[in-house]
Structure 1
Amino acid sequence: MKVAIVDDSKEDAGLLTDYIKKFENEKNIKLQCCVFYASFDFLETYHGEYDVIFLDIEMLGSNGLEVAREIRSKDDAVGIIFVTSMAQYAIHGYEVNAIDFIVKPVRYYNFATKLEKAYQFCRKRSTHNILLNNKDGIQRFSASDILYIEKDGDYLIFHTVQGSFQGRGSIKAMKEKLAELYFEESISGCLINLEYVIHIGKDSVTVESDVQLPLSRRLKKQFSQKYMKYMGGEF
């Protein structure tokens, strides 16, 4: 797991770094840690490579919530933990889907509890994250945010709640990767997240945002059964 500490206080950042080393020794795991003393430096170089970010809310010249929003615009999957001396600011964490917050001065037991939560968060999400490397850069998003995936030649187009992204791949390989989740083919070359299905018609499936996707006669029975199972009903 890769951890970033973004804090303009060298003393506070050093303390968190020491805590991470102590956590590694106690849990017998290896964490990679990088420290940034300015949010600008961090945002300029960030390309979705971290799993967890400990972010100071009250840094000179920047607003931690705005920094978190900028992070979210680049990476919807990374875990964010706010570090603050004023707890009332941390309640805004829901706006950027923060994992948690820590109030300064940070004590090791509290920090270790939050880091363990982040570690488990990352383990659960790691196998269900999609990482695309294309001409536009590196894009990472959670599989749970995918509405549907369609094949376009040698590429796949991922239609997500954040927008559409393209990357090389095959429907077969993606179906295997997402086997633990509820994705099902409606036609050859179109994989739909059953979470977002709102209607199954005679020859089409409607997903959120009123997008209609074709449903083949050959796959209709299997698709409908999988959807009923997902919804907890009986077919």
Structure 2
Amino acid sequence: MLQIAICDDEQEMAAAHRQAVEAALSNCRAVGEIAVYTHSDNLFCDIVEDGFHFDLILLDIEMPGKNGMELAKELQPCLPHVKIIFITSHVEYAIDAYELAVFRYVPKNDEKKRLMSALEDAIRLLLIEDGKVYTIQTNSRLEKIPYREIYFIERDGKNVSITWEKGTSKVRGSLQQIYDELAAEEFIFIDRGCIVNLIHVMQVKNSMVFLENGASLPVSRSHLQGVKEQINAYWGMHI
């Protein structure tokens, strides 16, 4: 079940956004639990102090107390994978929203047209990410790594090194073998020796892939065009 929060200081707008979220969940055949907040401080306390988890947060930027932009920055350490949709009447916030790597920015003057598609895209992406794990099993350990937490996978001699949210894990085998076992569209080769998770790709520039964890990885010349096409296709379908 997806956990979704709505935060807007205007009760009528918060209620309207709840209806939009309910409709988007229905359209995506997804099940979600929705929490509505009219004070940003209450949402902050529930997450930071009480450990509430949310997969998706719909935030109005212009709010008393902590505004949406400030709140998003403070919540990132607690919810590194949360999808945030900003709603605002101030176009100049779009650049800041991009820098925060939020999922989508919806201007209020175009809300009716763009909010529903933003919600549905976010929900579909969350459904893709949810529940998949890669299992490493040896004589001495059993380790399960959620797909969504994997940043990239590299060849490391006779081993394969998986860099993910909690560090690095090594598994015996070839990179192609791991790729085949993952069997998921979000993983692509950017080089003969490296696979990245498209969920975490922020930018491709100057033959480098930049990930949201700060990693930058080289793309081989032979893979560059294909990588760009795969990323564009993935973003086009899911984002």
**Which band: TM-score by shorter chain?**
0.5 to 0.7
Match of 2:81 among 61, 77, 81: 77
CA distance in 1, matches of 2:104, 2:12: 22
TM-score by length of 1: 0.56
CA shift for structure 1 position 38: 1.7
Q: Are 2:149 and 1:143 aligned?
A: yes
Amino acid at match of 1:76: P
Q: Is the 8 A contact 2:129 2:147 kept in 1?
A: no
Determine the structure 2 residue equivalent to 1:126.
Answer: 130
**1:12 aligned partner:** 13
Match of 2:137 in 1: none
Relative to the length of structure 2, the TM-score reads 0.56
CA distance in 2 between counterparts of 1:23 and 1:165 reads: 32
Instruction: Name the CA shift for 1:66/1:107 in 2 (closer, same or farther; >3 Å).
Output: closer
Q: In 1, distance between residues paired with 2:150 and 2:98?
A: 18
**CA displacement at 1:78 relative to structure 2:** 1.0
Distance 2:90 2:127 in 1: 30
Q: Conserved in 2, the CA contact under 8 Å of 1:6 and 1:39?
A: yes
Task: Count how many residue pairs are aligned between Structure 1 and Structure 2.
Answer: 176
Per the alignment, do residues 59 and 165 of structure 1 end up closer, same or farther by CA in structure 2, a change over 3 Å counting? same
Q: Please tell me the root mean square deviation across aligned C-alpha atoms, in Å.
A: 4.2
Q: CA offsets, 1:185-218, max 9 Å, x none?
A: xxxxxxxx8559xxxxxxxxxxx79xxxxxxxxx
1:36 equivalent to 2:37? Answer yes
- Of 90, 101, 110, which residue of structure 2 is paired with 1:97? 101
Q: 1:113 offset after TM fit, Å?
A: 0.9
TM-aligned CA distance change 1:145 to 1:27, over 3 Å: closer
Q: 1:93 to 1:128 in 2, by over 3 A?
A: farther
Report the equivalent of 1:64.
68
1:80 partner SS? strand
Query: Structure 1 residue 28: deviation in Å?
Result: 4.5
Instruction: Give the distance between the partners of 1:36 and 1:20, measured in 2 at CA.
Output: 14
Aligned to 1:113: 117
Match of 1:9, as an amino acid?
A: E
**Residue number in structure 1 paired with 2:4:** 3
- Structure 1 contact 2–52 (Cα < 8 Å) conserved: yes
Identity %: 24
| Alpha carbons 1:75, 1:141 under 8 Å: kept | no
Structure 2 unmatched ranges of 5 or more:
135-145, 155-161, 173-177, 189-193, 198-214, 217-222, 227-239
Deviation at 1:80, TM superposition (A): 0.7
Where do 5+ consecutive residues of structure 1 fail to align? 131-139, 149-157, 183-192, 197-207, 210-229
Quote the residue 1:152 is aligned against.
none
- Contact 1:129/1:143 (CA < 8 Å) preserved in 2? no
Contact 2:53 2:79 in 1 (8 A): no
